Amino acid sequence: MSLNDSDFAAVLAGYADWLGYCHRERAPLWVERFRMNEEELSRFRAAATPQGPTYVAEPVRIEAPEAQLAPAPASGLTAQEALVRAQAQPHLNAFTYLPERLAPPADGYLRGVPFAVKDLIGVAGMPRTGGSASSDASPFAADAAAVAAMKRQGGVAMGLANLHELALGANSANPVFGRVLNPLSPERIPGGSSGGSAAAVAAGIVDVALATDTGGSIRIPAACCGVVGFKPSYDAVSREGVIDVAASLDHVGPIGRTVMDCARSFAALTGLPAFPGLSERPLRGLRVARLGGFFDAPLDTHVRAAMQHGAQVLTDDGARVFDSVVSGMDLAPAIQYITVSTEAAAAHSERLRDCGEKLGEDVRVRLEMAQFLPGHWYLKAQRLRRMLVEQIMAQFEQADMLLCPVMRALAPNVGDADVLIDGYRYPLHTAVSNLTLPFSLSGLPAISLPWGLESGGAAISLQIVGAPGRDWEVLRVAHRLERLQAELLPLATAKLS
């Protein structure tokens, strides 16, 4: 028997008092937030608890890149030019901080290349706030490992990119630094949580930006803004100096103008002494599983057309594309929900207790409601996660790559609380993250690749996913598709309109 809202609120208020979090007046907000995810929670409650070990997120060895053709050069945009461009576009709200002066670059294959840094990642001398008034705004003492790696190859950190507060949301409507504007489609959200990173690239301010991804926060904003977003294998890039969201899910990676921009940054982020470039050879013999079932319905008609066109381009280039289904995928959103909520609550328990009133309302209520999730649910979620990841990994017994959309529909409009997709209504965060979160749960390398525009100018993207450690193969396949798509762009755009 389910409780009505008033009885449910009374139960939560009493439990909050017992926990010592004496804000019982907020109980109706907690109930509203729980109701938003009621479908996932009901499915999770009904699922049997499996026996056996829990899932453990572990880094994998990244397979070395092949020796490739000479890489394409960077665009030649200087750090000072990037800074001027950022200062000239304050309406984007793409940045939380821009320095007055930029440090000279070191020698390396990124020499002079400007990059934006999501304000969740520490940069020496800049305030790492996570986009939150609850943070210490003092200059950060030392570069995060990812920033230091970029700088060692000559990259120049030119500013901190805006984000959804503490990376706990999908629309990048930041309560402190303003709502990030989508440069490609201003009436649509830029995605989140790395909205500022994607906007800075889409607006031509930088060719690459560092971002983080817990359930899609690199790939979703890249798809919304029509740029490339690469989530590497779990812990391929160090998270040292990055504010935690959910430690077993968090990834650091690049958002770029092109796949080559992402690849060049990934080489630096993983400490390669030289950039190997990316081959443009045909994809003959590549086995690609086009994911159906959970990944195929519902889909917006434009997204479905893009998937069909992308599969045809792969086939025409010599790949073997076949349909496949991952069993048990319907539980993925619930597993993600329990995992993120519990781990984020642990990461920010003191922040919530000591200065919860400084948090934006949506983030505060997410952290508050996580206090009410039973502890054994987290254990159950990690056992279910292990089983789900085993099912995903089984795909690679017959496939080299997986193909699916990034999102079920186009980027939602600004202000939308939910999204209607082919007759199904989803809360906004569910609508945009449904198809990305399985590959954060599994820690697999995945890339969001722009694939044409619908007639109103909104971007559509494909998602390419590789086996653990096959990051460079994902980049190679995406680069080849990017080149083919550029040749076919007029046809692709016509097909998707």
Burial class (CB in 10 A: 0-12, 13-18, 19+), 151: buried
Q: How far apart are CA 307 and CA 302, in angstroms?
A: 9
Active site residue 193: yes
Query: Phi then psi for 413, rounded to 5 degrees?
Result: -75, 150
Active site residue 118: yes
128 Cβ contact partners less than 8 Å away, ≥ 6 residues apart: 119, 120, 121, 122, 135, 140, 160, 243
Please write down the long-range contacts of 359-362, taking CB distance under 8 Å and 24 or more positions apart: 359/132, 359/133, 359/134, 359/165, 359/166, 360/132, 360/165, 360/174, 360/175, 360/176, 361/29, 361/175, 362/165, 362/168, 362/169
Could you tell me the two tokens for 147? 């920033």
138 Cβ contact partners less than 8 Å away, ≥ 6 residues apart: 127
Q: How far apart are CA 301 and CA 421, in angstroms?
A: 9
Active site residue: 135, 185, 217, 433, which one?
217
Could you tell me the two tokens for 135? 């943070």
**Is beta strand 208-213 parallel, antiparallel or unpaired with respect to 228-231?**
unpaired
CB 126 within 8 A of CB 99: yes
Active site residue: 134, 193, 233, 248, which one?
193
User: Where in the sequence numbering do the catalytic residues fall?
Assistant: 118, 193, 217
